[in-house]
Amino acid sequence: MSEPTTFEIVLRGRASARLLRPLLDDFTVDHTREGVTRLVGVVRDASHLHGVVAHLTSVNVELISIVPASHSNPNPEWSTQS
């Protein structure tokens, strides 16, 4: 990844603002679907993405998916496999 890309990151469970605080400047948080947290934001480069993943795993959040937003479902009633 050589240029900024918008990513959708889906987490299992409802992640609290306290756990996500380091990411709130870069990502919007969506809890509209029961049992998952969806983050959408611009990732500047590969090292930024690695830092986001490192933070999430360090606080024991279970990652369901990480995809460029262009590959995510544009439907507001988005779905993920549980």
For domain 5-70, give the fold.
Answer: Alpha-Beta Plaits (3.30.70)
d(CA 26, CA 44): 10
Give me the tens of pLDDT residue by residue for the chain, a chain 82 residues long.
678 999 999 999 999 989 999 999 999 999 988 899 999 999 999 999 999 999 999 999 999 999 998 765 544 444 444 4
Residues 6+ away with beta carbon under 8 Å from 23: 39, 41, 52, 55
pTM for the model stands at 0.80
d(CA 52, CA 4): 14
Sorted by where each begins, the domain ranges of the chain are 5-70
**Residues 63, 56 contacting (CB under 8 angstroms):** yes
